[in-house]
């Protein structure tokens, strides 16, 4: 009895798995080529932003520590 229930669960699992895979919307070729470009541009933007913040904080600390001398 338990063996039959297990087989039924496994069959149902794979049937539902196939059903879910059919619902997937696969990306188009243009999306696949466009997304890495967007990621790289955003990465460059965030890198530049962090660099400017780092530069500003380091100049601010140099100014504060320079006044302490």
pTM of the model: 0.57
At 1, the pLDDT band (50, 70, 90 cuts) reads low
**pLDDT band at residue 7 using 50, 70 and 90 as cut-offs:** confident
H or E element in which residue 39 lies: helix 29-68
How much is the pLDDT for 20?
94
Per-domain boundaries in the chain = 2-68
Report phi then psi at 27, rounded to 5. Answer: -70, 150
Element (H, E) at 26: none
């Amino acid at each position: 009895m338990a063996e039959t229930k297990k087989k039924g669960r496994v069959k149902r699992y794979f049937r539902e798995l196939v059903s879910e895979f059919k619902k997937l919307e696969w990306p188009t070729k243009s999306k696949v080529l466009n997304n890495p470009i967007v990621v790289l541009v955003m990465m460059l933007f965030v890198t530049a932003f962090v660099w400017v913040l780092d530069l500003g904080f380091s100049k601010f600390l140099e100014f504060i520590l320079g006044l302490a001398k």
